[in-house]
Structure 1
Amino acid sequence: MSKKIVWITGASAGFGAATALRMAKEGHTLALFARRREKLELVAQQCEALGSKTEVFILDVRNADEVSKQTKNAFESLGTPDVLVNNAGLALGLDRFDQANPEHWNQMIDTNIKGLLYMGKAAADYMVKAGRGHIVNIGSLAGKEVYPGGHVYCATKHAVEAITKGMRQDLFKFGIRVSQISPGLAETEFSIVRFEGNIDRAKAVYHGIQPLTAEDIAECIAFVIHQPPHVCIHDIVLTPTAQATSTLINRSQV
């Protein structure tokens, strides 16, 4: 297995941190991007302890200038990225449409769509010149379906699916693979962020089931990027066994 230079956004927690640790175990070189310096540096220390060369780059993916600056720094320090794990994203609120907070809409659109675009283009610029690369966008089951209260979050993840397909059509001629991972219920900081720190409400999301873990998603990412160069996996959709759709959940299994 060849060693890769892997960029990971949202690497301070959740899917991003788990993916960083999964990649570190294999000795890949890591560029970790996130807003929270203290948490990001802790993840980096854990990766380095596993033998991975790891550097941190503090940025908010919503800020195009920060993305441009920090991805340039990563390229100059580590070289052309072989893989971008475009993971940074969030959900905010689960209110009925007419009662929703428009600021929540703005944050989700700016992070989940614009941030993914900014990082994807930054990586693609280097990958096109190199004639190789792999972009893995983190989508969601919410990008396949819509559920009550999820109007804008679901819309952003539907956008990720469309953008992923568009990226693939535009970049395949340069030897660049584009994939998507689309998880269902996975227990990370996701619901805590969505409900603005309400721990009880966040835990209720996973009550009565065994949800996916961040490590489950990291394993999928590893599987996708380790395929032979002639193989491109377009999408992996995974849910807990107790979940059939976004709203059809068997809560009697635990």
Structure 2
Amino acid sequence: MPGVADVSSSGPRPLPGSGRTAVVTGASSGIGAATAERLAAEGFDVVLGARRMDRLTALAGRIGARALPLDVTDPASVEAFAAELPQVDVLVNNAGGAFDATPVAEADLDSWARTYEVNVLGTVRLTKALLPALRASGAGDVLFVGSTAGLVSYEGGASYTAAKHGVHTLAGTLRLELVAEPVRVIEIAPGMVRTEEFSLNRTGSKEKADAVYRGVREPLVAEDVADCIAWALTRPHHVNVDLLVVRPRAQAAQHKVHRETD
């Protein structure tokens, strides 16, 4: 038809992440692995970082990503990891975890130190190392995988809630500091997510881990959080998702979870 442009010859649209390099930490399982897979599907050049290279290498081979050893608690490991990355457009700070569920009166300070080192200091360490590349990209993204535990405290969760409150404050502070620069700072805060390791690492037994989700019809799964992460990262770069809280419908609040009985 005269006057109407023929767009059929222009070919398929490029994927949202085409040409962008995305680093995902804690990528050997759970939310990190699901996020890496989703970002690869979105066209990102994905770099996986974690300690368990057997898992990491298998995932990288399956999704067409690059696997590099990374221990965010080890300055030398972070330095070596950053040296391998001439280009970084996206950093997904996912490495973290909870390692106890004891009240403050019975606090295991070694567990507290480990929780803080992995969730907070490790996140700061890697963010600092990759910020020059993120700035140089001209359109960088730093995404923190936080938690609703970083917004609300609860009994038996002090070491983890303290650490995740730290992550939440870190994201907010960094956003203020980088407001004049071409780097977005995004926080995704999931509620109840059923993954293979999180509650097991926290409680120390499969029985206790299963009890966390007992009766909850549909807790979130890692892919649900990965979907939110991918959505936030693929918005136009002038759109900043400061904080996205995502819970299963059965969890109205930290202490309000609907559990079905047999």
Using the TM superposition, give the Cα deviation of residue 225 of structure 1 relative to its aligned residue in structure 2, in angstroms: 0.3
Using the TM superposition, give the Cα deviation of residue 100 of structure 1 relative to its aligned residue in structure 2, in angstroms: 2.4
In structure 2, the partner of 1:17 is: 33
- Alignment equivalent of 2:76, drawn from 36, 42, 65: 65
Percent identity, aligned pairs only, is: 36
List aligned pairs for 1:237-252, cutoff 5 A. Answer: 237-252=245-260
What SS does structure 2 have at the residue aligned with 1:173?
coil
Using the TM superposition, give the Cα deviation of residue 253 of structure 1 relative to its aligned residue in structure 2, in angstroms: 7.8
Q: Please state if 1:177 is matched with 2:193.
A: no
Which whole-Å CA distance do the structure 2 matches of 1:2 and 1:186 have between them? 26
In structure 1, the partner of 2:167 is: 160
Whether the 8 Å CA contact 1:186–1:211 is kept in 2: the answer is yes
Pair 163,253 (structure 1): closer, same or farther in 2 beyond 3 Å:
farther
Using the TM superposition, give the Cα deviation of residue 85 of structure 1 relative to its aligned residue in structure 2, in angstroms: 0.5
Q: Please state if 1:233 is matched with 2:251.
A: no
- Alignment equivalent of 2:223, drawn from 215, 224, 228: 215
Whether the 8 Å CA contact 1:242–1:253 is kept in 2: the answer is no
Q: Please state if 1:102 is matched with 2:109.
A: yes
Q: CA RMSD in A?
A: 1.3
Which structure 1 segments of 5+ residues have no match? Answer: 49-53
In structure 2, the partner of 1:46 is: 62
Q: Please state if 1:125 is matched with 2:137.
A: no
- Alignment equivalent of 1:147, drawn from 147, 151, 154: 154
Using the TM superposition, give the Cα deviation of residue 252 of structure 1 relative to its aligned residue in structure 2, in angstroms: 1.6
Q: Which amino acid aligns with 2:186?
A: S
Which structure 2 segments of 5+ residues have no match? Answer: 1-15
In structure 2, the partner of 1:37 is: 53
Q: Which amino acid aligns with 1:214?
A: A
Which whole-Å CA distance do the structure 2 matches of 1:103 and 1:27 have between them? 41
Which whole-Å CA distance do the structure 1 matches of 2:123 and 2:156 have between them? 23
TM score, norm. by length of structure 2: 0.90
Mean Cα deviation higher: 95-104 or 10-19: 95-104
Whether the 8 Å CA contact 2:17–2:42 is kept in 1: the answer is no
Using the TM superposition, give the Cα deviation of residue 25 of structure 1 relative to its aligned residue in structure 2, in angstroms: 1.4
TM score, norm. by length of structure 1: 0.93
Which whole-Å CA distance do the structure 1 matches of 2:261 and 2:249 have between them? 9
Which whole-Å CA distance do the structure 2 matches of 1:140 and 1:225 have between them? 18
Which whole-Å CA distance do the structure 1 matches of 2:234 and 2:194 have between them? 25
What SS does structure 2 have at the residue aligned with 1:89?
coil
The structure number with the bigger radius of gyration is 2
Whether the 8 Å CA contact 1:185–1:240 is kept in 2: the answer is yes
What SS does structure 1 have at the residue aligned with 2:245?
strand
Q: Which amino acid aligns with 2:69?
A: I
Aligned length: 244
- Alignment equivalent of 2:43, drawn from 27, 33, 36: 27
Q: Please state if 1:187 is matched with 2:187.
A: no
Pair 236,253 (structure 1): closer, same or farther in 2 beyond 3 Å:
farther
